A and B are shown apart, each in its own frame.
Chain A
Amino acid sequence: MPLLIQSADSLAAPDTAATIQQVAPEAPPTPLERVMLQQDKLYVVAAVVLIIWLGVLALLYRNDRRIARLERALDEGENG
Chain B
Amino acid sequence: LTSDLRYRIVRNTVAVGLTGVLLAGFLVPFPRVDSILGQTARNLFFHVPMWFTLMAAMAVSAWHAFKYLRTKDLVRDLRSAEAARVGLAFGLFGITTGMVWARFTWYQGTGLWWNNDPKQLMAAVQLLIYAGYFVLRSTLDDPVRRARLSAAYNLFAAACVPFLLYVVPRQMASLHPGAEGSPAFSQVTHWTMRLVLYPSFLLFIGLFWVLYTQRVRLALLARRLNPEPEL
Contact = CB atoms under 8 A, between A and B. Distances in A.
Interface in A2-20: 4-5, 7-9, 11, 14-20
Contacts of A42: 38-40, 42
A47 B46 contact: no
Contacts of B37: 17, 41
Given A24-B109, A73-B226, A8 B180 contact: yes
Interface of A: 1, 4-5, 7-9, 11, 14-21, 24-27, 29-30, 33, 36-37, 39-42, 44-45, 47-49, 51-52, 55-56, 58-59, 63, 66-67, 69-70, 73-74, 77
A44 B105 contact: yes
Given A37-B108, A44-B104, A74-B225, A52 B40 contact: no
Contacts of A56: 207
Interface residues of B, number: 52
B42 to A, nearest CB: 5
Given A18-B36, A44-B43, A44-B100, A52 B93 contact: yes
A9 B181 CA distance: 8
Contact of B175 (A16, A37, A55): A16
Given A24-B110, A51-B97, A17 B173 contact: no
Given A4-B116, A59-B211, A70-B222, A39 B109 contact: no
A42 to B, nearest CB: 4
A41 B46 contact: no
B26 A45 contact: yes
B117 A14 contact: no
B36 A21 contact: yes
A45 to B, nearest CB: 5
Given A1-B116, A7-B173, A48 B214 contact: no
